[in-house]
Structure 1
Amino acid sequence: MIKHIVLFKLKNPTTEVVNETVAKLRSLEGKVESLIALEIGADILRTERSYDVALTATFETLEGLQAYQVHPEHVKIIEYMNSVRESSIAADYEY
């Protein structure tokens, strides 16, 4: 199994933008065949070191993760995220 974790820091982390971002990310559920599980959450501490939104996705194989990366629905989300994010960090691991 593969875990794909991404943290997003938004340019303008208002409640409205955070909620819209969470909704857009959640819209991937059921649209990408290789995506086994998806968790999305907004940061609740909102400290200086916090990122605003977290995504955790689960895939059966590395090939499934790679298919997700180029899936048209994911590409649409990337376009949106590029417009609202200040930065992001990611980690991918096998377990």
Structure 2
Amino acid sequence: MIKHIVLFKLKDSSPESVQLTTDVLRGLKGKVEQLRELEVGIDVVKSPRSYDIALVATFDSLEDLEGYQVHPEHKKVIEHMSQVRESQVAVDFEF
């Protein structure tokens, strides 16, 4: 199994912008067959080192993660994220 974790810092961290982007990310659920689980959360601490949104996705294999990366629905999300994100960091690990 593979865990894919991405943290996003948005250009506009207003509640409306964060909620819109959270909804876009959650919209992947049920649309990408490789995606086993999807969690999307909004930061509640709001410290200077915090990111605004966390995405945690689970895949059966590295191949499924790679399929997700090129899936048309994921590419739509990438388009949105490239417009609204200031920065992002990611980690992928086996468990």
User: Which TM-score applies when normalising by structure 2?
Assistant: 0.99
Structure 1: any 5+ residue segments left out of the alignment?
A: none
1:84 Cα shift? 0.3
The whole-number CA distance in structure 2 between the counterparts of 1:14 and 1:83 is: 15
Moved over 6 A (4+): none
Aligned letter for 2:70?
Answer: V
The whole-number CA distance in structure 2 between the counterparts of 1:35 and 1:71 is: 11
The whole-number CA distance in structure 2 between the counterparts of 1:85 and 1:92 is: 20
Cα root mean square deviation, aligned: 0.3
In the other structure, the counterpart of 2:47 is: 47
Q: Deviations over 1:24-60 (max 9, x none)?
A: 0000000000100000000001110000000000000
Instruction: Name the count of aligned residue pairs.
Output: 95
Matches within 5 A, 1:14-93: 14-93=14-93
The whole-number CA distance in structure 1 between the counterparts of 2:84 and 2:43 is: 16
The whole-number CA distance in structure 2 between the counterparts of 1:55 and 1:89 is: 11
Q: What is the aligned-residue identity percentage?
A: 59
